[in-house]
């Protein structure tokens, strides 16, 4: 059986640097394993490369070499007699895994992400995004014109962060919300989970028109079509009126000026949704760069310039998937109960993925 690769801690600096230089090989090996569904094929039991090639409709010789590369990464084991067995690591790419990373692996190695990253040196030199130079248009416009990549994107956003969705739905206080809008909500998985945990509110999934169509289908599939409306549009122009907004992994995609526009539009939509009413807290989740990081204040300037303010950092994850302390709940509830100045507030739901 092939052994997993040695820990980087045992390698010389030259060997470690070689690993870094050749890191893109790993990305594309994993992409190939995901694209040709190796995890699904091996879920049936050990198989020879020729058998997998027949199931995946790939070249047998190239498939054998791919599987040997996968063995060197700990994705499969190899018995020396041309039969390969999936490991638990490869099983993270199975399509029947609720938290499958298969679509994310294909998305990140696909042209929409891969080609702009190939111009990273130019980005550092000029300070300008390279999507237009690499793709001919911005990334989301590029994806919108490619239905297969749009669907991969939507599935990746749903599955890769399932545990975040479940945790937010369990903890988020929606007691005075009538309409909840999931801005940039992709297939609507976060909103769906929140509404399933809270039967009173209705909801809106807001995303680009092509993604909104996918959200409409996803909503009907789980039987929430009477409570959820899918709306297509551009959050730089306007967002639907609502009294609670969810933005999950949205602001990190944009520069400060763009973030301010998004937040300002949420504030305008919030005012339109509850004219003259008391404020309602929006929950904004941002992924910190390392365990224990507290980077909500990074967006304080943008939030302030949008006419809102950060109400606090709501820690839903403490060293892993654990429930918040009672005082965290009390602090949130107190802030929601006593601050009625009509402003949109943001709570950064701090966690580590």
CATH 3.40.50.150 holds for 161-350: yes
pLDDT digits (tens, 9 = 90+) for 5-47: 555 558 899 999 999 999 999 999 999 999 999 999 999 999 9
Runs of H (alpha helix) within the chain: 13-21, 23-35, 38-42, 49-56, 60-72, 102-109, 111-117, 120-126, 131-135, 139-144, 147-159, 162-171, 189-197, 209-221, 256-273, 300-305, 326-338
Q: Given the structure tokens 């601050």, which residue do they identify? A: 339
More confident residue, 138 or 275: 138
Give the separation between CA 48 and CA 83, rounded to whole angstroms: 4
More confident residue, 62 or 242: 62
Helix (H, G, I), strand (E, B) or coil at 78: strand
pTM for the complete prediction? 0.62
165 CB burial (10 A radius; 0-12, 13-18, 19+)? buried
Assess contact for 284 and 251: CB atoms under 8 A: yes
For the chain, which residues make up each domain, given as ranges?
8-93, 102-158, 161-350
Mean pLDDT, all residues of the chain = 77
pLDDT, position 274: 60
Residue of higher predicted confidence among 306 and 194: 194
More confident residue, 129 or 2: 129
Distance CA 194, CA 287 (A): 19
Q: Which residues have C-beta within 8 Å of that of residue 31, sequence separation ≥ 6? A: 105, 106, 108, 109, 110
Higher pLDDT, 33 or 302: 33
The answer to whether the CB of 1 falls within 8 A of the CB of 79 is yes
3-state secondary structure of 207: strand
* Secondary structure element (H or E) that encloses residue 231, with its range: strand 228-232
Angle at the Cα of 42 (from 64 to 58), degrees rounded to 5?
40
Least confident of 85-89, 218-222, 307-311: 307-311
Q: Which CATH number fits domain 8-93: 1.10.10.10, 3.40.50.300, 3.40.50.170, 1.25.40.10?
A: 1.10.10.10
More confident residue, 76 or 312: 76
| CA distances (Å), origin 63, targets 78, 297, 315 | 13, 48, 45
Question: Given a cut of 90, is residue 49 above it in pLDDT?
Answer: yes
Report which of 175, 115, 126, 182 is spatially closest to residue 149, judged by C-alpha positions: 115
Residue 99 pLDDT = 81
Task: List, for residues 199-215, the tens digit of each pLDDT value.
Answer: 888 999 999 888 888 88
Closest Cα partner for 321 from 152, 170, 145? Answer: 170
Of the candidates 251, 276, 252, 275, the one whose C-alpha atom is nearest the C-alpha of residue 264 is: 251
Q: Are 213 and 147 in contact (CB under 8 A)?
A: no
Q: Which helix (H) or strand (E) holds 312?
A: strand 309-315
DSSP one-letter code for 4? P
Distance CA 211, CA 209 (A): 5
Let me know if 252 is a catalytic residue: yes
**Total residue count of the chain as it appears in this document:** 353
Phi/psi zone of residue 11: left (φ > 0), alpha (ψ -120 to 50 degrees), beta?
Answer: beta
Q: Which of 175, 192, 252, 270 is catalytic?
A: 252
pLDDT tens by residue, 211-269:
888 888 888 888 988 999 899 999 999 999 988 888 887 877 777 788 888 888 888 88
């Amino acid at each position: 059986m092939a052994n997993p690769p040695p820990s980087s801690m045992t390698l010389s600096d030259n060997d470690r640097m070689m690993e870094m230089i050749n890191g893109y090989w790993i990305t594309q090996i994993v992409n190939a394993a995901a694209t040709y569904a190796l995890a699904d094929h091996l879920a049936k039991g050990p198989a020879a490369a020729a058998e997998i090639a027949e199931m995946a409709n790939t070249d047998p010789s190239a498939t054998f070499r791919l599987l040997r590369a996968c063995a060197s990464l700990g994705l499969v084991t190899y018995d020396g007699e041309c039969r390969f067995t999936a490991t638990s690591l490869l099983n993270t790419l199975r399509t029947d895994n609720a938290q499958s990373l298969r679509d994310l692996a294909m998305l990140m190695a696909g042209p929409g992400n891969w080609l702009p990253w190939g111009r990273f040196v130019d980005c550092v030199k000029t300070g300008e995004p390279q999507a237009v130079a690499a793709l001919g248009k911005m990334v989301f416009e590029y994806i919108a014109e490619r239905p297969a990549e749009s669907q991969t994107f939507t599935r990746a956003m749903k599955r890769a962060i399932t545990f975040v969705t479940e945790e937010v739905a369990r903890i988020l206080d929606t007691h005075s919300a009538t309409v909840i809008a999931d801005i940039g909500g992709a297939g609507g998985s976060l909103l769906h989970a929140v509404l399933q945990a809270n039967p009173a509110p209705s909801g809106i999934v807001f995303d680009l028109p092509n993604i909104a169509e996918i959200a409409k289908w996803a909503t009907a599939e789980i039987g929430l079509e009477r409570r959820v409306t899918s709306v297509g549009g551009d959050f730089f122009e306007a967002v639907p009126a609502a009294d609670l907004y969810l933005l999950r992994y949205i602001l990190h995609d944009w520069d400060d000026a763009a973030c301010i526009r998004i937040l300002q539009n949420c504030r305008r939509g919030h005012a339109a949704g509850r004219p003259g009413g008391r404020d309602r807290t929006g929950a904004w989740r941002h992924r910190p760069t390392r365990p224990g990081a507290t980077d909500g204040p990074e967006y304080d300037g943008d939030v302030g310039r949008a006419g809102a303010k950060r109400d606090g950092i709501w820690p839903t994850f403490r060293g892993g998937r654990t429930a918040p302390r009672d005082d965290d709940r009390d602090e949130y509830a107190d802030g929601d109960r006593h601050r009625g100045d009509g402003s949109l507030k943001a709570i950064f739901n701090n966690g580590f993925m």
